[in-house]
Amino acid sequence: MSKVTKSEDTALVVAPQSPMSMVPSVEQIADEFTPPQDSKFLPFLEMVFPIMQTPDKPEYKGKEWTIGFREGNAFQSLPAGTILTVLDKRNVVKREYKDDAGQPKNEYAAAELQRGTPPQTYNRTTARYNELCLQEAASPNIFKGFSLITVALLPDGRTVVCDCAAFKTFSDYIYPALGAVALQSKTGLKINIESHEANCVKAKTSGFFYPNKKKFTQWEHVQLTPEQLTKAVEAVNLAGEAYLTWLNK
């Protein structure tokens, strides 16, 4: 084997065919290496509860009791007239806990799905999902819910693909209306209000207000137009990488 020796000026002298002789230059590394890309995620479609508006989350200020998604550092409420349609759905579960520093954290796990032709199985967190579901009835910190890949057709012509991951109050409120529509059946949910505050009632036990599904009547199921279908499909194609990230949860 060739040896690496030191010259009189202490610089490394590399013998031919030694491992060091094959080390690339900085320029070669930069030219020949493609860095890994961060996984792309869909924005969450969520309802803003007053407790969420804190000094470190100013994007929620003035958006209480609206449904929307984060857009950069801002929060975009769904204007009245927005149409939602669903591309895909799966059951999920959430565990709320505190880390070693006492900070609140959430753990999520998802049910198994089979998608594509030939079918491919997506079950990275399914074992944990099954485990948490068994514990849910006896734990006040574990909640079953759902995750819907939702296409939002905004009145201004924009189209956004979101992950409507809902638990507890929001899931009870939105699912009866949203769960019945699908892009594949060319149906949508048109929501005719922006603020849902008028649909809130006061809980008898806690005294807190919450949105009541029985009061949520300001919506209608609609048939998507050819133009809306085209926009929705285009948006889904553009969000393909983020959709794969969702499948691999």
Can you give 144-185 as a three-state secondary structure string? EEEEEEEEEECCCCCEEEEEEEEEHHHHHHHHHHHCCCCHHH
Per-residue confidence (pLDDT) for residue 22, from 0 to 100:
54
Place of tokens 């919506």: 219
Domain, as residue range, for 218: 46-247
Q: To the nearest whole percent, how much of the chain has pLDDT over 70?
A: 84
Model pTM? Answer: 0.82
- Is 14 among the domain residues? no
Per-residue confidence (pLDDT) for residue 7, from 0 to 100:
46
Tell me how far apart the alpha carbons of residues 122 and 126 are, in angstroms, rounded to a whole number. 8
- Is 58 among the domain residues? yes
DSSP state letter for 213: G
pLDDT exceeds 50 at position 23: yes
- Is 29 among the domain residues? no
Using CA atoms, how far residue 138 sits from 143, 146, 206, 240, in Å, is: 11, 20, 21, 38
- Is 226 among the domain residues? yes
Q: Where residue 81 falls among pLDDT bands split at 50, 70, 90?
A: very high
At how many degrees (to 10) do helices 240-247 and 226-238 cross? 70
Total domains, the chain: 1
- Is 9 among the domain residues? no
User: Is residue 43 within 8 Å of residue 19, measured between CB atoms?
Assistant: no
pLDDT exceeds 50 at position 183: yes
Tokens linked to 74: 């801002």
- Is 72 among the domain residues? yes
pLDDT exceeds 90 at position 242: yes
- Is 109 among the domain residues? yes
Nearest residue to 190 via CA among 217, 221, 153: 221
> How many CA atoms within 13 Å lie on the side-chain side of 39?
11
- Is 36 among the domain residues? no
Residues in the chain: 249
Per-residue confidence (pLDDT) for residue 204, from 0 to 100:
87
DSSP state letter for 195: B
